[in-house]
Amino acid sequence: DTEVTQTPKHLVMGMTNKKSLKCEQHMGHRAMYWYKQKAKKPPELMFVYSYEKLSINESVPSRFSPECPNSSLLNLHLHALQPEDSALYLCASSLTGRLDTQYFGPGTRLTVL
């Protein structure tokens, strides 16, 4: 089983709202990732957690706040977003984070009004 789940599938929020995206995997993977993907572009890495510790932050604005409460769960907290933050947000996981295959979830389509 290589399933990564993400909720919600779609999210519409105003610029003053606070919302969270959730990602879950039960494959025993110890690395989890957040990507942002704009239309017709490749995914761009945002954050990486390795063994529940933040190991990579690709200079993402502080209005995006990641959290890894345990090895199976990854959250992305959103606050005061801008319309240009509207995108597909993809979560992925891999076994160790070292040259291993990343498995992606179905994504959350976010629209910021």
Nearest to 34 by CA among 87, 96, 113, 98: 87
Q: Are strands 10-13 and 103-104 parallel, antiparallel or unpaired?
A: unpaired
Q: Least CB distance from residue 17 to another protein, whole Å?
A: 22
Binding to another protein by residue 102, rule CB under 8 A? yes
Closer by beta carbon to another protein, 33 or else 64: 33
Q: Least CB distance from residue 104 to another protein, whole Å?
A: 4
The phi, psi pair for 16, rounded to 5°, reads -100, -5
> How many chain residues touch another protein (CB under 8 A)?
27
Region binding another protein by CB under 8 A among candidate stretches 19-27, 62-70, 75-83, 98-106: 98-106
**DSSP SS3 for 106:** coil
